[in-house]
Structure 1
Amino acid sequence: MWGPKRGGRNVGKEQRLEAIRQLNYIDAKFGYQPYTESTARNAWLINVQQSEMFDDQTKCILAAVELYFLEEDGSRFKICYPFRPYLYLETNQGQEYVVAAYLSRKYHFLQVEHTEKENLDLKNHLAGLRSRFLRVSFPSNAEVAKFKRDLMPRIKKNRLAAQQASDYTELLTEYMGGGKAHFDDGPLEQIVDIRYFF
């Protein structure tokens, strides 16, 4: 695929902008000019591709979906539609706001929303039980990759700790004074799962 993913993890902004320009140049060679007008056009959608675009208003690189169209007379055009990639974080019960505040401070580029979803990992998930999740959205996939790279080791460590501790041992240590409750841990220790769909 043409685009900013070529060249490894640490692709700078200038390299990403150059990749966007190259992609637009190649598309123009094949007759796909960007369509930005508001009048409706009748055409067939012939291809969809994940890409990036430069937003002139915010001066940021955004994730986008490029939609390629073919009209009945053979003319071609494309529409670049921006979107924000997202993932879900599951936290310890009651710790959603602490984690959301921490992530918003540490990663200025993301947006955090609170949502409830059916948790298919629960034993009785068919009963319609819902769990609270944080929906974390990003300007582009480069930020998603950075975020996952930072958090995945911590989340794996938290999962392992959760598997080793049962509900009984947590209650025992909390009420007998043998340990500390998970509320005293830092915000990153409250994240127990990450779910993303690409």
Structure 2
Amino acid sequence: MVLQNSGKFKPDRWKSKDRSSGDGGSNFSRDDNSEKRVQHSLFHNEIDSKFGFNRHQEPIERIGWLVNIHPTELLDEDKRLISAVDYYFVEEDGNRFKVSFPFKPYFYLATQKDCEQEVASFLTRKFAGSISQVEQVQKEDLDLPNHLVGLKANYLKLTFLTVTDLTKVRKEIFPAVKKNRERERTSSAYVQMLSSSLSGGVHSEHSKKLTDQMENIIDIR
């Protein structure tokens, strides 16, 4: 009997099940639904167990070779989804295990001078339930011409429970940042100075309070 390649790819049954949904074939990793994400995490944990990689939870020392890593999501003590990384190990006798290390993803935002507090309050309200924490930190800005002298700038650090929440918030903020940076490049320093001189400090402060705080975000890192 001669075997011939039909040219048709037949996915495994579990892969077909993973991709089946009511949104036109998108898999769980693209779905923001928490219940589906939990089921997806449990399903991959079941697959790992079938290959001998059971999650190590006992407080004892084990030595093994790291053979793979994979991002995942876990349920914490409060039954909330959190991001984690699965580390897969093989011991000298051939036994296998994995260790799950939780972490909180984050990114930084730069704002207009003296607008950090207002922007932080605005983002906390706007993305309530998605942002875990907003804090002000000082970081060295390597884009500054004199960054070697150790000058530091104020940034907002946005921390999240999951990468999904981070991606969702960043996707909404990034267009505003891009628009604001373009406006900064095209604006004239002379026009800004003249406007400040004519309007006065009181009017300028009043305008800052009335403006959309998204306009005060000038960089994302």
Superposition TM-score, scaled by structure 2 size:
0.79
Shift of residue 51, structure 1, vs aligned partner: 1.4
Q: How many angstroms apart in 1 are the aligned matches of 2:90 and 2:74?
A: 21
1:50-65, aligned counterparts within 5 Å?
A: 50-55=71-76, 57-65=77-85
Q: Mean alpha-carbon deviation: is it higher for 158-167 or for 84-93?
A: 158-167
Shift of residue 180, structure 1, vs aligned partner: 4.7
Shift of residue 89, structure 1, vs aligned partner: 0.3
> Are 1:133 and 2:184 an aligned pair?
no
Q: Mean alpha-carbon deviation: is it higher for 172-181 or for 57-66?
A: 172-181
Shift of residue 169, structure 1, vs aligned partner: 2.5
- Match for residue 106 of structure 2 among 86, 95, 112: 86
Contact kept? 2:29, 2:37, Cα under 8 Å = no
Contact kept? 2:31, 2:37, Cα under 8 Å = no
Once superposed, what is the RMSD of the aligned Cα atoms? 2.3
- Match for residue 77 of structure 1 among 86, 97, 118: 97
Q: Mean alpha-carbon deviation: is it higher for 143-152 or for 81-90?
A: 143-152
Q: How many angstroms apart in 2 are the aligned matches of 1:8 and 1:60?
A: 17
3-state SS of paired residue (1:177): helix
Shift of residue 7, structure 1, vs aligned partner: 4.5
Point out which structure has higher relative CO (alpha carbons under 8 A, 6+ apart): 1
Larger Rg: 2
Listed one character per residue, the Cα deviations across residues 54-102 of structure 1 (whole Å, up to 9, x for unaligned) are: 22x2111111011111111111111111101100000011111111111
1:177-188, aligned counterparts within 5 Å?
A: 177=199, 180=204, 183-184=208-209, 185-188=211-214
Listed one character per residue, the Cα deviations across residues 145-179 of structure 1 (whole Å, up to 9, x for unaligned) are: 11012112211111111111243322221112299
Residue 33 of structure 1: aligned partner: 54
- Match for residue 183 of structure 2 among 161, 183, 189: 161
Listed one character per residue, the Cα deviations across residues 134-153 of structure 1 (whole Å, up to 9, x for unaligned) are: 11111111101110121122
Structure 1 residue runs of 4+, over 4 Å off?
2-5, 178-182
Residue 193 of structure 2: aligned partner: 171
Q: How many angstroms apart in 2 are the aligned matches of 1:49 and 1:10?
A: 18
Residue 106 of structure 1: aligned partner: 126
Superposition TM-score, scaled by structure 1 size:
0.88
Q: How many angstroms apart in 1 are the aligned matches of 2:78 and 2:156?
A: 25
| Structure with a larger share of its residues in helix | 2
Listed one character per residue, the Cα deviations across residues 24-49 of structure 1 (whole Å, up to 9, x for unaligned) are: 01111110001111111122222222
* Percentage identity across paired residues of the two chains: 37
3-state SS of paired residue (1:135): strand
Q: How many angstroms apart in 2 are the aligned matches of 1:165 and 1:20?
A: 48
Matched AA of 2:192: E
